[in-house]
Amino acid sequence: MRKTDTQIEVAGVRLAGHIFEPRTGWPGVLFVHGWAGSQTRDEKRSRAISRLGCICLTFDMRGHGATDLDQARVSRADNLADICAAYDVLAAHPSVDASSIAVIASSYGAYLSTFLISSRPVRWLALRVPALYRDEDWDTPKRSLDRRDLQDYRSRQVPRHANRALRHCQDFAGDVLIVESENDHLVPHPTIASYLAAFGNACSITHRIIKGADHALSDAESRRSYDELLIRWIREMVLSAR
């Protein structure tokens, strides 16, 4: 807490006062959408969280939004570079406390965000239906990956030592939220279990399952459930730390 002197002028008199303010800036929140998604899906959530006293950044990765025609060419390496660049913009904002940044990510974006935490300081990490990919073919266009092979890979629990994303999770010491969809055929429970087992050094791990939800949160009730639990977690983790 910082204390500064001030004077209040009224009726020709100067009154002595003090201003008390936090030494740090506001928490920053980076939203990372999933494959074939866009920042549009995060706009409502970012508005709600910004009203809680956070500065939020949404963005479209290459191959999405205005650059969706490039989707056939972008690789995981390309999109990770996009996420790192977006993080750096948020952290450089003059009102953001760079030591208090949260990342809220979904599916493909959640997977890539585990690589972000290995190179950038992140205090809070919320992963909704985090996907998992083999380490091989990192620079291959994402759309060219074998979907059937991916489903086979995700259908069993992967040990931490056998996947780079999971090894990055092991090193994370912040607070984690993992949200699972009950009826998710793209990211089934064994993949979620792989992530839960990987965060061995996290300060806290919160795991929630949205009943009846599919991967994309297609129905309004599922979206509402996710929004509510995300806001509760942000209040508990981010705002209580200030």
DSSP the chain: -EEEEEEEEETTEEEEEEEEE-SS-EEEEEEE--TT--GGGGHHHHHHHHTTT-EEE----TTSGGGGGGTTT-BHHHHHHHHHHHHHHHHTSTTEEEEEEEEEEEHHHHHHHHHHTTTS--SEEEEES-----STTTTSBGGGS-HHHHHHHHTSPPPGGG-HHHHHHHT--SEEEEEEETT-SSS-HHHHHHHHHH-TT-SEEEEEEETT--TT--SHHHHHHHHHHHHHHHHHHTGGG-
Classify residue 193: in a domain, yes or no: yes
23: pLDDT strictly greater than 70: no
Classify residue 153: in a domain, yes or no: yes
Classify residue 6: in a domain, yes or no: no
165: pLDDT strictly greater than 70: yes
Q: What is the reported pLDDT for 104?
A: 98
The CATH number of residue 124's host domain is 3.40.50.1820
Domain count, the chain: 1
Q: pLDDT tens across 62-98, in order?
A: 999 888 778 999 999 999 999 999 999 999 998 999 9
155: pLDDT strictly greater than 60: yes
231: pLDDT strictly greater than 80: yes
Classify residue 185: in a domain, yes or no: yes
Percent of the chain with pLDDT over 90: 82
Q: pLDDT tens across 177-219, in order?
A: 999 999 999 999 999 999 999 999 999 999 999 999 999 999 9
